[in-house]
Amino acid sequence: MVIVITVFGEDTLFGETTKFGYYELKGDFTADAINDIDEILQEAGKTYLITEQTATVDSMGNTTAISSTEFYCYAHLESLTQKDRKLIDMGIAIPGDMKGFFKESYNSNYIKEGQILTDLDGIKWRIVQINERNITGDVIFVVAIMRNIDLEGS
């Protein structure tokens, strides 16, 4: 499944020097795009648990405790394409890697590198790379590259 956002209308100017090849004059485009991504992920995506672990370190550098923060999110996961593999690790194909599409934030919780994504079957992925997709300087959605922990389900 590929998600493509295209704006057509009387206020759209083509040929401008923007990343996507168009310039939107309306001020509400960013909010509309964020809402559209949210609706797409709720309809086409699945629910996943995101876990962020934080280590408490003493003055000697030893880990004394590890605490976890969890939140649920909607995401769409897909296998890496040949093009993705060329961009990641200089073409090395790693079994169990996935690409996930996320909203930028979930009630003040943000998708970050190092977090663990768990699906409803208990399969876990660690988020190893984040790429924010933005238009007019505002983040619309996040693409994350995830590595399967223990290569389960790959």
Number of C-beta neighbours around residue 145 at 10 A:
22
Domains and CATH numbers, the chain: 37-151 (2.40.10.270)
- The residues with which 100 forms a beta bridge, in sequence order, are 77, 144
Query: What pLDDT does 63 receive?
Result: 86
Query: What pLDDT does 13 receive?
Result: 53
pLDDT tens string for the chain (154 positions)?
A: 445 555 555 555 554 444 444 444 555 777 788 888 888 888 888 999 999 988 888 888 888 888 888 999 899 998 876 666 555 555 455 666 888 999 877 777 888 899 999 988 888 999 988 887 766 667 788 888 888 887 654 4
107-to-40, 47, 71, 95, 100 alpha-carbon distances in Å: 18, 15, 9, 32, 19
Q: What is the reported pTM?
A: 0.68
Query: What pLDDT does 116 receive?
Result: 93
21-to-13, 14, 17, 27, 66 alpha-carbon distances in Å: 9, 6, 6, 17, 46
